[in-house]
Structures are given as C-alpha cells and as structure tokens.
Amino acid sequence: MNGGVLLDIVACLAAIVIPIAAVTVVAELVDAFKPRWYHAVPAMRRAALAAGLLLPVAILWSAPDGDIYAPDRIFSVDGPWNLGFLEMLDRRFLSYVAEVPDVYLQSYDAPLWVRIAISLHGLLVLAALLLPFRIWPPREAARASACGLLIIAMATLVALYAVCTSYWLLHQFSFWIVAAAGLLFQRFRLHRDHRARGH
C-alpha cells in the first residue's frame, strides 16, 4: 500500500477516535470527582452542556472566514479544506479555540443573535457554577462546579473539533461522495424511466 494513502487512512481514523477518547476521559474525570447525588440533579449538567455547545455556534457563525463552509468550497480541489490533518488542526480548529477567551470582548459589534447566544451562554455558565452552592455544602459544591467547568470545556472543544473535522473528512472523501451521489442519481433515473414505460 502506498505510504501516502496509509497516512491518510491513519489521519482519518485519528480524526474520529480523538473526540471519542476526549469525551470518555472527561466522563471518567467527572465521575471520579463529582459529589454525591450529582447525577440526581441533571439541570446542572444540561446547563453546562448547553453552555459548551452555544459558544462554538456563536464563534463559527461570526467568524470572518465563514464562507469556507459553503458546499462549493468543501469539495474544491484547491479549497480551504485541502489540508493535511495536522495542518487542519492548526489552521482551523486551534484558530477557533484561540478566539474562545476573547469572545465576550469581541461580541459588542457582532450580529444581534450572536450577542444573544453569548449572553445566554453566560447565564448558563453561571447556572452550572452557582447552582451547586444551593444544593451542597461549600466543599462538595466546589467539586460540582469543577465538574460543570469540565463539561463546558469538553463540549466547547469537541463541538469546534467536530465541525472542523467533519468538513475536513467531507473533503477527503469528496471523490467517493460525488461518485456515490452520481450512482444514486443514475439509479433514480433508471427507476423513473422504468415506471414511465409502465413495466
């Protein structure tokens, strides 16, 4: 097997395995660190998860390079997704991660719905971090808040990674996707013609 093809296969497998491993590790950390009855109060976990997912949405939709997600750019041979796996991580994923600390500072001139999403994100973070102190003693509440922070960070990073990696994988398999779409279209045409002839 050609060495380049083998590296491409390994990169695609790594792209899929990384988020699964990350979620597994964070789930184990939360399970080991959580206070008693933590899973009996799902509102905190849901608030943390929603907060972690809202932030990537705001970042991606307000990014100046949002046109790279247009379908014609995904399948373009010389498009923005024609990158190696590590280069994709550096130029796409890590560049979005670098924007996370400044997202609140940069939101003042963002579109209205982005400002709403970021405001809601802030409220959900506060809920995930402060609600435990209404339920547990301070020490256990601090552990629950730490679990919330882990979930927020995991959801944010995995969501950003999943979007970037999905588009990168679509580009990597663009030939096979187009070929499969062509075969399905041809089969549809044959089936339609067959029915039109009354057979």
Contact 88, 81 (CB under 8 A): yes
- Residues whose CB is less than 8 angstroms from the CB of residue 163 and which lie 6 or more positions away in sequence, other chains included: 56, 60
pLDDT in tens, 110-168: 788 888 888 999 999 999 999 999 999 999 999 999 999 999 999 999 999 999 999 88
Q: What is the CA radius of gyration of the chain?
A: 22
Tokens representing 150 are 């882990």
Across the chain, what does the average pLDDT equal?
83
Q: What is the pTM of this model?
A: 0.82
> In which element (H, E) is residue 19 found?
helix 3-33
pLDDT in tens, 52-78: 999 998 888 877 777 788 877 877 778
> Which of 79-93, 150-164, 185-199 has maximum average pLDDT?
150-164
CA distance 175 to 169: 11
pLDDT of residue 188: 59
Burial class (CB in 10 A: 0-12, 13-18, 19+), 186: exposed
